Structure 1
Amino acid sequence: MFEDGQLYSPVTEHEDGTVQVHLADTHPGKDDAHYLRRRGEIAGAALRWDRAGGAPLPTIEYTDTEHAVWAEVCRELAPKHLRYAHSEFLAAKDRLDLPTDHVPQLHEVTERLEPLTGWTYIAAPGLVPLREFYGDLGQRTFSSTQYLRHASQPLYTPEPDIIHEVIGHGNGLASERFARITEAAGQALTRMESEEAAKLVADVFWFSMEFGVIYEAGPVGARELKAYGAGILSSFGEMDEFREMEIRDLDLADMGTLNYDITQYQPILFAAKDLGHLEDVVGDFFATADDDACARLRREAEGRGLVPERV
């Protein structure tokens, strides 16, 4: 099961107004003073943004290096998307038509996305509390970071950056079918009274909209495993590996209780038979779930030995 402490780099705002981002020891930018300062500047812009007052989204003056990272990732991901992404994602990506030569501002993403599916983007300095993040999803609003991964490893990031959140999630949200499932997930978690139920919903989301795979008919009729999850489709390396992982059928009890490590490629993935199957199982769960339903799934997982029984 997901734990908040696994994810993101904490952000501290000091009394003098400076903002510090605390990178993990394994982060490629942890010893780069310029990168650390830059991360603090970008996080600070989100912290100072007056969302409640309706202020315009913060504009980041991206550097040539940051634009180059974005362009390289776009160039390297494009052929992999054509090979590995589900057709619904590819069609949505074509409609959204994000720039590939420079980092878009979040208001530009909204300007392209909102006419398609009604979704908007807002700025976040880093980790957003679970209920706040999903509450926004339930309103068709995506909280996104604005920083980029370290330039020394443009095809790798240990934490979600704007590439993950815009190329991975934004393209998917340009599909009304994926957008509806994501919105329903946000509304589902908002309904949950217990933290255990909220975590189960978030973990089903992890194994679907973040790391979901789906079968689709290939050019000669054979079924091929394709990706639709943002975590896979924003990862250069994971797209080469996901078909070699353990592939299980959609199973809400398993998805909602399985332990996982966000810092590694996901060794277990859950596949829908087709897009309609995903909507029927995952979409309907998000649309109807309450605390009692989540408790039943937890008991089912315990009865099947998927998680230890509580004492």
Structure 2
Amino acid sequence: MFEDGQLYSPVTMHDDGSVEVHLADSHPGKDDPEYLRRRGEIAAAALTWDRAGGAPLPTIDYTDAEHEIWRVVSAELAAKHERHAHSEYLSAKSALGLPTDHVPQLHEVGERLEPLTGWSYIAAPGLVPLRDFYGDLGRSTFSSTQYLRHASRPLYTPEPDIIHEVIGHGNQLASPRFAAITQAAGAALTRMESETAAKLVADVFWFSMEFGVMHEDGDLKAYGAGILSSYGEMDEYAHMEIRELDLADMGTLNYDITAYQPVLFAAHDLGHLEDVVGAFFDSADDEACERLRADARRRGLLGEVAHA
């Protein structure tokens, strides 16, 4: 899954207007000058996009090689989705009908989503500040990267690319019920005054909408975008430590983003997810988050690290 201790590679715009993406040493494209150039070019499109002025979303002229990565990964993930994805995700994926033969533009994803759940997409060069990202979620807007992973390893990415953002989250957001939970998470975080409370909300989101699993017809299915956009993680999630939904635990467990998640939290069904996680996002404030932290402290959970 995602590596290097942070989700997105840093991006720098130089005085001459050129844009540089700083890939980690372990990134498969680190020593590929053409990939580095291309990553800078795509990041520049988002950095120079005049969102405030209402400019159209940047359109990326994807190459044949980039379309081929999308085709390969779409086909490989689809086969695994049939085995591992929750039926709510599969129904939403069918309704959204993303193309499998070419990389869609973000405006095309939004045009498909809007009549289903009212969501839209906007362009981001990489990392978006936490409060900005969740603020957009609260307005039913998803900030997405537009680059693709390196062609040498099409089934692996050390950072979220457009495959994660669109196949993972876009399909998820085509479900009115998942979309409502995601919007509520965005609104919840923007209500938080303390950074501690904001982090707790973000961590509950991580263990639900990013890496959530759910029981269905006697099987453990995935609905989290981080699992369902990861070829490798779909083979591993059922073998991890599976805990009951527990907001105090989810909001305070220390996890490592450089590896598959060794602890996952399972909902009994979609209604259970809505009653626990959705209801928390709907009503959470700083005081509620502090109560959860106090509960975690009493139970010896605060500071616990998820180990593989």
TM class by shorter chain equals over 0.9
Distance 2:121 2:284 in 1: 26
Please tell me whether residue 284 in structure 1 is matched to residue 295 in structure 2.
no
The answer to whether 1:302 aligns with 2:291 is: no
Q: 1:156-195 residue pairs with structure 2 within 5 A? A: 156-195=156-195
Query: How much has 1:25 moved relative to structure 2?
Result: 1.0
Matched, 1:263 2:258: yes
5 Å-filtered alignment, 1:1-311, equals 6-217=6-217, 223-308=218-303
- Matches of 1:14 and 1:51 in 2, distance apart? 21
- AA aligned opposite 2:84: Y
How far does residue 262 in structure 1 lie from its aligned partner after superposition? 1.2
Counterpart of 1:112, as a letter, is: R
Q: 2: CA distance between counterparts of 1:194 and 1:278?
A: 25
Q: What's the CA shift string for 1:27-68, capped at 9, x where partnerless? A: 111111110110000000000000000000000000111000
When the two chains are superposed, the root-mean-square deviation of aligned CA atoms in Å is 1.1
Letter in 1 for 2:267: A
Q: Distance in 2 between matches of 1:261 and 1:160?
A: 15
Q: How many residues align?
A: 301
CA contact (8 A) 2:213 2:221 kept: yes
* CA shift for structure 1 position 6: 2.2
Q: How big is the shift at 1:7?
A: 2.3
**Residues of 2 paired with 1:11 and 1:228: CA distance?**
30
Decide whether aligned partners of structure 1 residues 308 and 145 sit closer, same or farther in structure 2, where only a CA change above 3 A counts: closer
- Structure 2 SS opposite 1:269: strand
- Per the normalisation by structure 2, the TM-score is 0.96
How many Å separate the matches in 1 of 2:272 and 2:116?
24
Give 1:93 deviation, angstroms. 0.2
- Preserved contact between residue 252 and residue 303 of structure 2 (Cα < 8 Å): no
Q: Percent identity?
A: 80
Cα offset, 1:303, TM superposition: 1.1
CA offsets 1:91-150 (integer angstroms, 9 cap, x no match) = 000000000000000000011110110000000000000000000000000000000001
* Cα distance in 2 for residues equivalent to 1:296 and 1:5: 29
Judge conservation of contact 2:21–2:39 (CA < 8 Å) in 1. Answer: yes
Aligned to 1:220: none
2:100 match: secondary structure:
coil
Give 3-state SS (helix, strand or coil) of 1:276's partner: helix
TM-score (norm 1): 0.96
CA displacement 1:198-249 (0-9 Å, x = unmatched): 00000000000000000011xxxxx110000000000000001100000000
CA distance in 2, matches of 1:263, 1:168: 18
In the alignment, structure 2 segments of 5+ residues that lack a partner are none
3-state SS in 2 of match to 1:6: coil
Q: Give the C-alpha shift of residue 79 in structure 1.
A: 1.1
Counterpart CA distance in 2 for 1:29 and 1:261 is 23
- CA distance in 1 between counterparts of 2:234 and 2:127 reads 25
Q: Contact 2:5–2:257 at 8 Å: present in 1 too?
A: no
Q: CA deviation at 1:308?
A: 4.4
Please list every run of 5 or more consecutive structure 1 residues that lacks an aligned counterpart in the other structure. Answer: 218-222
CA distance in structure 1 between the partners assigned to 2:117 and 2:241 by the alignment: 33
User: Which portions of structure 1, spanning 4 or more consecutive aligned residues, are displaced by more than 3 angstroms?
Assistant: none
Change in Cα spacing, 1:42 to 1:308, as seen in structure 2 (3 Å) is: closer
- CA distances 1:257-308 after superposition (whole Å, capped 9, x unpaired): 1111112100000000000000000000000000000001111111111124
Residue 50 of structure 1 aligns to a residue whose secondary structure is coil
Describe the superposition over 1:132-185 as per-residue Cα deviations: whole angstroms up to 9, x where unpaired.
Answer: 000000000000000000110100001100000000000000000000000000
SS at match of 2:12: strand
